[in-house]
Amino acid sequence: MEKDSAGMNQAAHQFRCPRCGNIGEYSGKAGERLIVTCDSCKTKGRVTIPGIAEPPSTNGNAIEITHLRKLFKDFPAVDDVSFYVKKGEIFGLLGPNGAGKSTIIRMLCTLTRPTAGVATVAGYDIVKQSGKVRTHIGLVSEKMIMYEQLTARENLKLFGKLYNLPNDFLNKRIDELLAFVRMEKWADHRINTFSTGMKQRINVIRALVNQPEILFLDEPTLGLDPQSTAEIRELTKRINTENGTTIILTTHIMFEAEALCKRMGIIDHGKIVALDTPANLKKLVSGTDVSTFEIEVSNLEPRMMTSVQSLGSVKSLIQEDSNHLLVRTTGNDAFDDIVDSLRKNGAKVRMVKNLEPSLEDVFLHLTGREAREKVTENTPSSSVGPGHGPGRRRPKRIR
């Protein structure tokens, strides 16, 4: 092991010339990119020393954002956002469609430049040191980034080559990743033969080929069936706990955010409106007059629900099954109003339970948006685009 002038360790690694097959030995720091010349045929090329380069001091933070802004013409998609993400944590970004979540992710991944402000990822400036940032991150975007006609192994090898990883190192890494998601049996099958859940597992490990210190997951369970969704959530936990990877997660699913994230920021209209642990965020509404009641009615009829829904204190009503209602209310007299309304319509009320505030209550309280109360198969597509909403068609899964 050699040391450079700054006292950093430099390891010697062997690389095979792609032209003549000659094996040469080169020294460098982990993650360093070198221009080398083959001793035999004099072919020049670039190599990357395996491993993760040590980043500058980051005060224990994987990401630091200060007064970040992004304008599209005169529209502020991200408006003066500041926060940090600790090393090794799962951090959630929640917000309605168009709130600015994906724009923040794109800036942190150096896919678009900020209009103003400063951000560092793994200690590197996202504008001045974008190349360094990219060597330390992985991105799983909303859209799967894979080639359908290639096998799982071929896809992983292709993306590994983009990082100039040596063949021996890359092949070993691919085997490790396939085993990590239990996909060894399908390693040499084409992607277009996989179910959506299998594709997403390969899509996630594609972002891990370069051993990233920080992983961005932009709505990774969107459009997946319940079984596949559970698999991706479990995989996310394992990546974080077993590898120590810092994860930034965007999602619309409140349960998912609460189950995975140590801290989360809620963004609306390009601004962070709240940032804390899930438990502390719930306290934002526990002191207000917002309540959620679970009500069991043995003879529930549509006219009873209509009567309750017409009350001024009722914000939303969801029929969970043939006998249970979930009613979100405001005001101190809401409970009495609901019970009186039901009894006037002949309802046989078996049970009323006052539920603790949920993360969805916090989300709706802060963003002022009402959630969809019911989705049917015949609901037409909304205007938010093919990737979101009740109109999204989900492909058939092949198991």
Q: Are 133 and 110 in contact (CB under 8 A)?
A: yes
Mean pLDDT (whole number) for 308-319: 89
Domain assignment present for residue 134? The answer is yes
pLDDT of residue 225: 86
Residues 6+ apart with CB under 8 A from 232: 197, 200, 201, 204, 220, 221, 224
The amino acid sitting at 290 is: V
Residues 238, 312 share a domain: no
Whether the pLDDT of residue 5 is over 60: the answer is no
Mean pLDDT (whole number) for 367-382: 42
Residues 222, 298 share a domain: no
Residues 265, 331 share a domain: no
The amino acid sitting at 313 is: S
Residues 198, 69 share a domain: yes
Residues 230, 104 share a domain: yes
Whether the pLDDT of residue 1 is over 70: the answer is no
Query: What's the CATH number where 80 sits?
Result: 3.40.50.300
**294: Cα separation from own chain's centroid:** 31
Mean pLDDT (whole number) for 209-216: 94
pLDDT of residue 4: 46
pLDDT of residue 6: 43
Residues 266, 162 share a domain: yes
pLDDT of residue 118: 95
Domain assignment present for residue 332? The answer is yes
Domain assignment present for residue 378? The answer is no
CA distance 138 to 160: 12
Residues 298, 269 share a domain: no
Q: Which is more confident, 164 or 138?
A: 138
pLDDT of residue 386: 37
Whether the pLDDT of residue 396 is over 60: the answer is no
Domain assignment present for residue 320? The answer is yes
Residues 247, 112 share a domain: yes
Range with the poorest average pLDDT among 108-122, 138-152, 274-288, 357-371: 357-371
Strands 263-268 and 90-94: parallel
Q: Half-sphere exposure (CA, 13 Å, Cβ side) for 199?
A: 26
Domain assignment present for residue 18? The answer is yes
Tokens 């993760």 correspond to 52
**Helix, strand, or coil (residue 304):** helix
pLDDT of residue 397: 38
pLDDT range class, residue 367, cuts 50, 70, 90: confident
The residue count for the chain: 399
CA-angle at 44, arms to 38 and 48, nearest 5°: 90
Domain assignment present for residue 373? The answer is no
Instruction: Give me the helices (H) in 34-188, please.
Output: 101-108, 130-135, 152-161, 167-180
Range with the poorest average pLDDT among 101-105, 169-173, 275-279, 365-369: 365-369
Residues 120, 13 share a domain: no
113-149: per-residue pLDDT in tens? Answer: 999 999 999 999 999 999 999 999 999 988 888 999 9
Domain assignment present for residue 398? The answer is no
pLDDT of residue 48: 67
Residues 234, 163 share a domain: yes
Residues 304, 183 share a domain: no
pLDDT range class, residue 13, cuts 50, 70, 90: low
pTM for the full model? Answer: 0.67
Residues 44, 156 share a domain: no
Q: Which is more confident, 32 or 184?
A: 184
Mean pLDDT of the chain: 83
CA distance 201 to 195: 10
CA distance 106 to 216: 10
CA distance 397 to 142: 18
Domain assignment present for residue 142? The answer is yes
21-31: per-residue pLDDT in tens? Answer: 777 777 766 66
Query: What's the CATH number where 333 sits?
Result: 3.30.70.100
Question: Which domain range does residue 325 map to?
Answer: 287-367
pLDDT of residue 345: 92
Count up the domains in the chain and report the number.
3
Q: Are 13 and 49 in contact (CB under 8 A)?
A: yes
